[in-house]
């Protein structure tokens, strides 16, 4: 549990806050183990546990990679063993497909990919096999029956033992349909079974097909008839991680199609829902404002924008959201923007991570001290308001700071993780590619842990390099080897190259089909002036866009 | 337990009990109001206990309180607790909020930086909003400050308080509400002789001092003499030669708005608002005044001489304010009331622009007797400007290099004329230094020919400063005086406190190692460039002047500053070479290798997920002829020609043809084979005849190939070992599985056997059961028979008894036949005995039968 000395990038204040966050983690984690394990969650006011999303010691699975990010290798190893022995998915429990995917499958996948770094003895086939991967796969397979619908969009709930219950409601929220590609594509790439990625893609495409004429998606849809049941369009609750996964899927898989979908949505969102750097809720067909509220869950948006390089807009929206935090010491589930106050029945703050998440991403991009200030405020607020003897309690009402008997598993999985990462710029998660590991697998040599981790929507990091490690690696390797041979021989016969080209026909031929296919690709993407998979570089005025200063577009 | 909730913790002390700050942590606002009655100056600190900013500001407030507690009452109020009065009455959107009261005046909200020195300075300003100016030298001191000063003249001899004084005092407090940086200073003069220095004659007049433009007198007759009006008037008409920028931390367009006005000189100096003297600031002010000194050169000079020389005893008439001199020399002449106007370029590509000197001219035209304006009235100059802008188009034509003056009638008053003297400033004019003499002789002539005014001398446009255009190729000799009006690259000047805003300096390229936090940069947002004052030079007046001058000349010697990432230098060698601004040339152009350069940014998701590909590529390519490099363009500026607008961008610089760099086509997916093909396609294919050198190269290449293959073999070996490992693992798993199978097979066999035996057993049991059942039936039959028999016997017995009884009766008389009857009786007793034995046997049988059934059942269970 001991980390090396702080790097040069750390100021004393940063270091001090980082250690406070660490203490917060252990206060909550140790009380969970003591009072609540093996239940899903800790109840901090009554000091006991309860099952919430299933019955798989959810908080423990969710907090696992946070342990490693905090540098606690020994506890990570212990928990890996505990999970392998103790968690059983053959249970007669109705579980949310979405939550099980992001928390359990995501948590196990990231723990699997990080386990070597954590000093766990991995088996020879790692990262393409391993006990945690098998568990993740098992959990994911339990979810597959939900995808057996006419549209390919999954049901919201599935029984882990019996599949979809007869009489199950066919209405699923948009996010519950479009939040699988990161975990499922990773699973498919690691295990070699394409079924996971296929169902995830099919669900994404079904949503895309059912968007409205003005390019928006609603909140809930009937997965049998593909009729929109709730037609509020926005970026928050019910939709949020769908957009997030289009971007993250595009980055993880270098997938232009996903990105072009997102960019289309982004255009519509800017057109219809954006007002003064706030994002409101609108009717998905008409585009008229239906709710002028800001939701706590929407605060992930600036972070997502910064990933694709829209840093200016991200910062402006972030500063809006930050004012709400300053007003209450947290973000209410709903905040009425014109009234400047909370919305009835939605005054709670369950210690959500989204604003802190955005602060972490934006701090990477701008190094703006304002973002550390938000971190400071979050640490102070959470400690002052929600810390109780047994952990940290959900704030039931931000107006008077009454507490509720619940500590959601995302508090340890996300809130603490992002806070810690905000104050720890030298963490391995922030690796910019200067460090990496070389792993020899049965599929060849593999470069791993070179940074660029993609966080799933429950803050479980996935190493994008790992996706290129397993079965696909082998085919690529042969091609590379051919090219290398040509590379040397070509130079050797420099002046004869042209004449003797037929002698090297093998290499040449191998190139041809590839060229043809990329030509096709070229033609397809000619419509856009630049590659979809790129960020704009930052403008000149971004140098001065810190400490709350924003610049209007020069256009 | 499901609905368990817990109310928020009760509020506790926020400040320590020993603190000079009174802490009303239960939000007792009513009590806070009571406390206000007792003290002249009160500072309220409204906080929320959970708020990080409140916690951070707490220390600062305590610090200020410890210094001022004898004069100021510090009250902290918890305005969050929902049972408290404060929360119920006030509705704040952020914390902390600082309110100040001067007696009943207030609240004045403090919006400045949450730093003790700034807060203290502000509190002191609230304590004494008016500065008492007792002497001439103090007056000059007051006026020479770079920040605008407002002086009121009030004679205190007549009544205890002269009329209007309270209004003036309140307006000073009022200005603190509006102008929380406190840039406008208010002073009061009570001595008539001192007041004369600024031509104030009547008690109750208010004067706004301006350096570059004419100072103003508050127009009592036009505007009501109220605190708000005075304050508004001063704010609207104040001169901002140099401005402090103090971003408050929240979302703001301050820099956007200021920098979009044009190029800006940002000067960072450490500033302590409480310090008595600011030598560096004075020096900068001097430069700023000089830079803006477009007219009234003498007046400004007088001011300037006083700057930094405040204790100069030589306060004589010759150095006194220029205005006095004018009015003495030209009693009939109106006070020259002029304003410099730089006309916007009417054509964006124009190489010239016009500078006009606009003066109110009452000597022209009809002059009614009544008109007696002793000073330049700001309304008048405003009216002049209005009229001027109405006729603006007439001044837009190119006016050659002469100064042309034209008089035009006031838009408002038929009696006043304005004179506008305009000239065209050519963009070349600062660069054609050698020809300047001839050019600038003309305007003099031209001007004098137009010199219809009496006060020509004083309105001489700034352009013709004596030592301004000495034909000298040395740029530094270009005088800074009035440069702001002569150049078409006018700079706005700004100050930033480097104790608070050093981050901006760092981001503009201030070196991080320096301990002296002084820095100056010119930022041109439109051109997207910035220039930095050489950081090896100390920031003093002359260097700053040179910096400004170098910026102003046409072929500016200033180089666009490229910000460099300093942290990258300390990194050790990486597989992928990290390029910075300073190593760019060397790594990419001067090296004798093929260079593949990746432009990236750490925050861009599409870049970071490619890291592993570039690492693999770098490990694959021979390092003696290839460099795989990357540059973080967020932290490293590059010359324009190497900039890129999308990230990631991949450029290939082939060896020997570095200038012919090629870009990796954007629509190809970035992966190892594609990158290799790209490099293969573009790396040199020159067909020069093979010389010895070439042969040598070839051998080197082959050597490379060999080592590459060796590496490959190594890799394959390790791969094989990994495969072996995996194989072993599989083998182990397989054998274990086989063992398991075996075990299961055996188990199955034994189970089958067991099953068979059990079946057998159950059959046997069935058989016995049947048999026993049979026996039982037989037994029952026999019993039945026996029962029947016994019944018969019983009947017989009864019959016999009856027979015996009848015989007995008969034989009682015949005693001789007694003996045979006795034997009969014995036989019947025997019969009775055998019957009871049979019943017992039957009972026994039944128990046996039940036992059998039970055994059968339990055996059946086992089989199951």
Distance from CA of B241 to the nearest CA of A (A): 22
Place of tokens 């939550």: A99
Contact call for A434 and B677, based on CB within 8 A: no
Residue B644: its chain A contacts at CB < 8 A? Answer: 537
B128-240 fold: Glutaredoxin (3.40.30)
What is the mean predicted confidence (pLDDT) over B771-796? Answer: 91
Q: Which of B50, B523, B529 sits opposite A329 (nearest CB)?
A: B50
Q: Which residues of A are catalytic?
A: 99, 240, 333, 354
Residue A370 marked as a ligand binder: no
SS3 A257: helix
Distance from CA of A286 to the nearest CA of B (A): 32
Q: Among A246-260, B155-169, B214-228, B494-508, whose mean pLDDT is lowest?
A: B155-169
**Does pLDDT of B723 surpass 60?**
yes
The residues in B 295-334 lying below 8 A from A, measured between CB atoms, are: none
Closest C-alpha among A357, A370, A372 to residue A418:
A357
The pLDDT value recorded for residue A477 is 81
Place of tokens 């991967």: A133
Inter-chain Cβ pairs, chain A and chain B, closer than 8 A = 317
What is the mean predicted confidence (pLDDT) over B783-790? Answer: 90
What is the mean predicted confidence (pLDDT) over A460-482? Answer: 85
Q: Which of B56, B252, B726 sits opposite A549 (nearest CB)?
A: B252
Q: Is A526 on the interface with B (CB under 8 A)?
A: yes
Q: How far apart are CA B171 and CA B186, in angstroms?
A: 9
DSSP state string for A399-447 = TTTEEES-B-HHIIIIIHHHHHHHH-TTSGGG--SS--EEEEETTEEEE
**Does pLDDT of A208 surpass 80?**
yes
Q: How far apart are CA A69 and CA A460, in angstroms?
A: 11
> What is the average pLDDT value for chain A, to the nearest integer?
89
Q: Which residue of B has its CA nearest to A399?
A: B82
Task: Give A16-26 pLDDT, tens digit per residue.
Answer: 999 999 999 99
- Pick the residue with more confidence: B51 or B238? B51
Q: What is the largest CA-CA distance in chain B?
A: 205
Q: Among A380-384, B155-159, B566-570, whose mean pLDDT is lowest?
A: B566-570
Distance from CA of A150 to the nearest CA of B (A): 34
B577-683 fold: Glutaredoxin (3.40.30)
> Burial code of A365-399, b = ≥16 C-beta within 10 A, e = fewer?
bbbbebbbbbbbbbbbbbbbbbbbebbbbbbbbbe
**Does pLDDT of A196 surpass 60?**
yes
Cβ atoms of A156 and A172 closer than 8 Å: yes
What is the mean predicted confidence (pLDDT) over B101-115? Answer: 92
The pLDDT value recorded for residue A464 is 95
What is the mean predicted confidence (pLDDT) over B584-607? Answer: 92
Cβ atoms of B197 and B137 closer than 8 Å: no
Q: Which residue of B has its CA nearest to A441?
A: B722
Q: Is A465 on the interface with B (CB under 8 A)?
A: yes
**Does pLDDT of B396 surpass 90?**
no
Q: Is B50 on the interface with A (CB under 8 A)?
A: yes
Residue A163: DSSP 8-state: B
Q: Which of A369, A445, A534 sits opposite B606 (nearest CB)?
A: A534
- Pick the residue with more confidence: B196 or A330? A330
Residue A45: its chain B contacts at CB < 8 A? Answer: 4-6
Q: Which residue of A has its CA nearest to B54?
A: A377
Q: How far apart are CA A315 and CA A91, in angstroms?
A: 45
Q: What is the ipTM, given to two decimal places?
A: 0.91
Distance from CA of B111 to the nearest CA of A (A): 15
Residue A21: its chain B contacts at CB < 8 A? Answer: none
Q: pLDDT-derived band of residue A159, with 50, 70 and 90 as boundaries?
A: very high
Contact call for B5 and A535, based on CB within 8 A: no
Q: Among A427-436, A499-508, B353-362, whose mean pLDDT is lowest?
A: A499-508
Which residues does residue B6 pair with via DSSP β-bridges, in sequence order?
Answer: A403
Residue A311: its chain B contacts at CB < 8 A? Answer: 603
Per cent of chain B over pLDDT 90 is 37
**Does pLDDT of B450 surpass 80?**
no
Residue A480: its chain B contacts at CB < 8 A? Answer: 620, 672-673, 676
Q: Is A313 on the interface with B (CB under 8 A)?
A: no
Q: Which residue of A has its CA nearest to B258?
A: A551
Closest C-alpha among B231, B234, B208, B206 to residue B220:
B206
In sequence order, what are the residues at sequence separation of 6 or more whose Cβ sits closer than 8 angstroms to the Cβ of residue B295? B212, B213, B338, B340, B357, B459, B461, B462
Q: Among A85-89, A261-265, A328-332, whose mean pLDDT is lowest?
A: A85-89
What is the mean predicted confidence (pLDDT) over B140-154? Answer: 88
What is the mean predicted confidence (pLDDT) over A216-243? Answer: 96
Closest C-alpha among B188, B168, B183, B151 to residue B231:
B168
Q: Is B705 on the interface with A (CB under 8 A)?
A: yes
Q: Which of B647, B676, B712 sits opposite A309 (nearest CB)?
A: B647
Residue of A432, A509, A511 for testing the chain B interface, max B β-carbons within 10 Å: A432
User: Out of 3.40.228.10, 3.40.30.10, 1.10.10.10, 3.40.50.720, which CATH number does the structure's domain B244-295+482-561 have?
Assistant: 3.40.30.10
Superfamily grouping for domain B22-118: Glutaredoxin (3.40.30.10)
Q: pLDDT-derived band of residue B849, with 50, 70 and 90 as boundaries?
A: low
Q: Which of B93, B599, B719 sits opposite A340 (nearest CB)?
A: B93
The residues in A 487-506 lying below 8 A from B, measured between CB atoms, are: 487-488, 490-492, 494-495, 497-498
Q: pLDDT-derived band of residue B178, with 50, 70 and 90 as boundaries?
A: confident
Place of tokens 């995917």: A101
Q: How far apart are CA A2 and CA B38, in angstroms?
A: 56
Q: Among A200-204, B312-316, B620-624, whose mean pLDDT is lowest?
A: B312-316
Contact call for B8 and A514, based on CB within 8 A: no
Q: pLDDT-derived band of residue B424, with 50, 70 and 90 as boundaries?
A: low
What is the mean predicted confidence (pLDDT) over A236-263? Answer: 96
Q: Taking the domains of chain B in order of start, what are their residue ranges?
A: 22-118, 128-240, 244-295+482-561, 337-343+352-362+376-426, 577-683
The pLDDT value recorded for residue B380 is 58
**Does pLDDT of A2 surpass 60?**
no
Q: pLDDT-derived band of residue B254, with 50, 70 and 90 as boundaries?
A: very high
Task: Give B51-102 pLDDT, tens digit per residue.
Answer: 999 999 999 999 999 999 999 999 999 999 999 999 999 999 999 999 999 9
Residue B723: its chain A contacts at CB < 8 A? Answer: 442
Q: pLDDT-derived band of residue B146, with 50, 70 and 90 as boundaries?
A: confident
Q: Which of B608, B667, B688 sits opposite A451 (nearest CB)?
A: B608
Distance from CA of B19 to the nearest CA of A (A): 22
- Pick the residue with more confidence: B186 or B435? B186
The pLDDT value recorded for residue B484 is 79
The pLDDT value recorded for residue B839 is 55
- Pick the residue with more confidence: B599 or B720? B599
Q: pLDDT-derived band of residue A275, with 50, 70 and 90 as boundaries?
A: very high
Place of tokens 């239940």: A39
Q: Among A166-170, A313-317, B394-398, B523-527, whose mean pLDDT is lowest?
A: B394-398
Cβ atoms of A395 and A403 closer than 8 Å: yes
- Pick the residue with more confidence: B337 or B175? B175
Distance from CA of B699 to the nearest CA of A (A): 9
Contact call for B94 and A327, based on CB within 8 A: yes
Q: Which of B255, B599, B608 sits opposite A544 (nearest CB)?
A: B255
Per cent of chain A over pLDDT 70 is 90
The residues in B 55-84 lying below 8 A from A, measured between CB atoms, are: 55-56, 82
Whole-model pTM: value is 0.79
The residues in B 474-493 lying below 8 A from A, measured between CB atoms, are: none
Contact call for A533 and B606, based on CB within 8 A: yes
Closest C-alpha among B424, B443, B442 to residue B354:
B424
The pLDDT value recorded for residue B798 is 87
**Does pLDDT of B717 surpass 60?**
yes
> What is the average pLDDT value for chain B, to the nearest integer?
77
Contact call for A543 and B729, based on CB within 8 A: no
The pLDDT value recorded for residue B417 is 53
**Does pLDDT of B571 surpass 60?**
no
Residue B251: its chain A contacts at CB < 8 A? Answer: 316, 319-320, 323, 548, 550
Distance from CA of A538 to the nearest CA of B (A): 7
- Do B22-118 and B128-240 show the same overall fold? yes
Residue A335: its chain B contacts at CB < 8 A? Answer: none
Q: Among A60-74, A266-280, B649-663, B748-762, whose mean pLDDT is lowest?
A: B649-663
Q: Which residue of B has its CA nearest to A384?
A: B50
What is the mean predicted confidence (pLDDT) over B104-116? Answer: 92
Q: pLDDT-derived band of residue B157, with 50, 70 and 90 as boundaries?
A: confident
Task: Give B122-141 pLDDT, tens digit per residue.
Answer: 999 999 999 999 898 999 88
Residue B570: its chain A contacts at CB < 8 A? Answer: 8
């Amino acid at each position: 549990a001991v980390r090396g000395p702080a790097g040069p990038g750390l100021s004393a204040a940063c270091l001090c806050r980082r250690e406070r966050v660490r203490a917060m983690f252990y206060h909550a984690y140790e009380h969970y183990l003591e009072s609540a394990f093996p239940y899903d969650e800790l109840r901090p006011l009554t000091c006991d546990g309860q099952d919430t999303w299933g019955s798989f010691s959810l908080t423990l699975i969710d907090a696992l990679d946070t342990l490693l990010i905090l540098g606690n290798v020994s506890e990570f190893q212990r928990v890996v063993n505990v999970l392998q022995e103790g968690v059983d998915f053959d249970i007669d429990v109705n579980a949310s497909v979405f939550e099980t995917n992001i928390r359990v499958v995501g948590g196990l996948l990231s723990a699997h990919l990080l386990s070597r770094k954590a000093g766990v003895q991995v088996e020879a086939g790692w990262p393409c096999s391993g006990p945690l991967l098998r568990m993740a796969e098992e959990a994911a397979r339990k979810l597959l029956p939900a995808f057996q619908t006419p549209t390919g969009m999954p049901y919201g709930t599935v029984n882990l033992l019996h599949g979809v219950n007869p009489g199950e409601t066919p209405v699923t929220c948009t996010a519950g349909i479009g939040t699988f590609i990161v975990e499922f594509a990773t699973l498919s790439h690691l295990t070699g079974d394409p079924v996971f990625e296929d169902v995830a893609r099919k669900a994404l495409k079904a949503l895309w097909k059912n968007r409205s004429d003005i390019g928006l998606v609603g909140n809930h849809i009937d997965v049998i008839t593909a009729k929109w049941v709730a037609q509020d369009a926005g970026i928050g609750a019910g939709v949020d991680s769908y957009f997030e996964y289009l971007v993250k899927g595009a980055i993880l898989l270098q997938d232009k199609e996903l990105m072009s979908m997102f960019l289309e949505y982004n255009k519509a969102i800017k057109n219809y829902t954006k007002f003064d750097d706030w994002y409101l809720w609108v009717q998905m067909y008409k585009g008229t404002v239906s709710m002028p509220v800001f939701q706590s869950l929407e605060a992930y948006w600036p972070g997502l924008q910064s990933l694709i390089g829209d840093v200016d807009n991200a910062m402006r929206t972030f500063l809006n959201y930050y004012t709400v935090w300053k007003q209450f010491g947290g973000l209410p589930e709903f905040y009425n923007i014109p009234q400047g106050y909370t919305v009835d029945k939605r005054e709670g703050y369950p210690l959500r991570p989204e604003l802190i998440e955005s602060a972490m991403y934006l701090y990477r991009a701008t190094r703006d001290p304002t973002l550390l200030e938000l971190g400071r405020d979050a640490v102070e607020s959470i400690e002052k308001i929600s810390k109780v003897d047994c952990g940290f309690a959900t704030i039931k009402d931000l107006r008077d700071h009454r507490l509720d008997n619940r500590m959601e598993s995302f508090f340890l999985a996300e809130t603490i993780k992002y806070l810690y990462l905000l104050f720890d710029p030298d963490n391995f998660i922030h690796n910019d590619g200067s460090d990496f590991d070389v792993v020899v697998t049965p599929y060849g040599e593999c470069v791993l842990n070179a940074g660029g981790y993609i966080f799933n929507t429950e803050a479980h990091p996935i190493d994008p390099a790992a996706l290129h490690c397993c079965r696909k690696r082998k085919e690529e390797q042969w091609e590379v080897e051919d090219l290398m041979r040509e590379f040397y021989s070509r130079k050797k016969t420099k002046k004869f190259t042209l004449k003797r080209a037929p002698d090297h026909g093998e290499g040449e031929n191998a190139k041809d089909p590839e060229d043809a296919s990329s030509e096709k690709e070229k033609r397809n993407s000619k419509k856009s002036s630049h590659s979809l998979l790129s960020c704009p570089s930052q403008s000149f005025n971004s140098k001065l866009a810190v400490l709350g200063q924003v610049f209007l577009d020069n256009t | 337990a499901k609905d368990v909730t817990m109310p928020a913790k009760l509020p506790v002390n926020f400040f320590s009990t020993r603190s000079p700050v009174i802490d009303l942590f239960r939000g007792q606002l009513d009590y806070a109001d009571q406390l206000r009655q007792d003290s002249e100056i009160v500072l309220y600190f409204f906080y929320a206990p959970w708020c990080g900013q409140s916690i951070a500001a707490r220390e600062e407030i305590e610090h200020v309180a410890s210094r001022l507690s004898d004069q100021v009452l510090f009250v902290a109020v918890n305005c969050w607790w929902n049972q408290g009065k404060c929360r119920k009455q006030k509705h704040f959107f952020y914390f902390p909020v600082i309110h100040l009261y001067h007696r009943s005046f207030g609240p004045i909200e403090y919006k400045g930086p949450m730093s003790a020195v700034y807060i203290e300075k502000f509190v002191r300003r609230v304590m004494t909003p008016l500065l008492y100016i007792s002497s001439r030298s103090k007056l000059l001191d007051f006026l020479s400050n770079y920040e605008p000063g407002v002086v009121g003249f009030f004679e205190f001899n007549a009544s205890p308080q002269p009329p209007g004084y309270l209004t003036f005092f309140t307006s000073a407090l009022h200005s603190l509400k509006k102008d929380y940086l406190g840039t406008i200073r208010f002073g009061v003069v009570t001595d008539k002789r001192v007041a004369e220095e600024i031509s104030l004659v009547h008690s109750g007049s208010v004067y706004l001092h301006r350096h570059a433009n004419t100072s103003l007198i508050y127009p009592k007759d036009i505007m009501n003499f109220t605190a708000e009006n005075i304050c508004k008037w001063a704010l609207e008409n104040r001169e901002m030669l140099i401005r402090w920028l103090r971003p408050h931390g929240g979302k703001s367009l301050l820099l956007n708005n200021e920098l979009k006005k044009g190029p800006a000189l940002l000067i960072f100096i450490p500033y302590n608002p409480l310090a008595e003297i600011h030598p560096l600031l004075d020096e900068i002010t001097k430069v700023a005044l000089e830079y803006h000194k477009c007219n009234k050169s003498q007046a400004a000079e007088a001011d300037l001489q006083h700057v930094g020389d405040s204790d100069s005893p030589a306060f004589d008439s010759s150095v006194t304010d220029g205005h006095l001199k004018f009015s003495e020399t030209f009693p009939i002449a109106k006070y020259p009331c002029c304003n410099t106007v730089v006309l916007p370029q009417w054509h964006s590509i124009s190489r010239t622009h016009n500078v006009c000197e606009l003066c109110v001219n009452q000597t022209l035209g009809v002059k009614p007797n009544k008109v007696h304006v002793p000073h330049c009235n700001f309304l008048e100059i405003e009216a002049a400007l209005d009229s001027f802008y109405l006729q603006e188009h007439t001044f837009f034509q190119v006016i050659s290099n002469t100064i042309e003056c034209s008089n035009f009638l006031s838009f408002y008053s038929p009696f006043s004329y304005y004179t506008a003297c305009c000239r065209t400033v050519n963009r070349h004019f600062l660069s054609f230094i050698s020809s300047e003499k001839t050019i600038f002789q003309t305007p003099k002539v031209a001007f004098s020919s137009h010199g219809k005014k009496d006060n020509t001398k004083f309105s001489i446009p700034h352009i013709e400063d004596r030592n301004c255009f000495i034909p000298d190729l040395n740029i530094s000799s270009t005088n800074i005086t009035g440069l702001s009006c002569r150049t078409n690259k006018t700079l706005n000047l700004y100050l930033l406190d480097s104790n608070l805003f050093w981050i901006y300096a760092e981001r503009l390229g201030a070196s991080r190692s320096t301990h002296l936090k002084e820095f100056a940069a010119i930022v041109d947002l439109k051109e997207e460039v910035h220039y930095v004052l050489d950081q090896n030079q100390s920031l003093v007046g002359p260097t700053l002047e040179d910096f400004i001058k170098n910026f102003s000349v046409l072929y500016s010697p200033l180089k666009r500053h490229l910000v460099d990432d300093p942290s990258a230098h300390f990194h050790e060698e990486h597989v992928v070479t990290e390029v910075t601004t300073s190593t760019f040339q060397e790594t990419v152009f001067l090296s004798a290798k093929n260079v593949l350069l990746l432009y990236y940014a750490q925050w861009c998701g599409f870049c970071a997920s490619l890291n592993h590909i570039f690492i693999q590529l770098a490990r694959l390519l021979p390092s003696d002829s290839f460099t795989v490099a990357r540059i973080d363009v967020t932290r490293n500026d590059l010359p324009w020609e190497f900039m890129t607008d999308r990230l990631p961008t991949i450029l290939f610089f082939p060896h020997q043809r570095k200038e012919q760099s090629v870009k990796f086509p954007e629509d190809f997916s970035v992966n190892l084979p594609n990158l290799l093909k790209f490099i293969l396609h573009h790396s040199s294919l020159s067909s020069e005849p093979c010389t010895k050198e070439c042969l040598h190269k070839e051998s080197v290449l082959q050597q490379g190939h060999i080592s590459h293959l060796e590496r490959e073999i190594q890799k394959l070996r390790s791969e094989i070992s990994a495969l072996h490992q995996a194989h072993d693992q599989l083998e182990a798993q397989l054998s274990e599985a086989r063992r398991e199978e075996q075990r299961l097979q055996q188990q199955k066999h034994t189970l089958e056997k067991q099953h068979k035996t059990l079946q057998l057993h159950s059959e046997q049991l069935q058989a016995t059961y049947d048999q026993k059942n049979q026996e039982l039936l037989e037994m029952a039959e026999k019993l039945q028979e026996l029962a029947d028999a016994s019944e018969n016997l019983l009947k017989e017995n009864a019959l016999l008894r009856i027979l015996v009884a009848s015989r007995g009766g008969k034989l009682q008389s015949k005693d001789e036949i007694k003996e045979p009857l006795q034997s009969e009786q014995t036989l019947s007793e025997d019969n009775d005995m055998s019957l009871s034995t049979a019943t017992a046997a039957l009972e026994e049988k039944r128990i046996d039968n039940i036992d059998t059934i039970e055994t059968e059942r339990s055996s059946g269970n086992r089989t199951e």
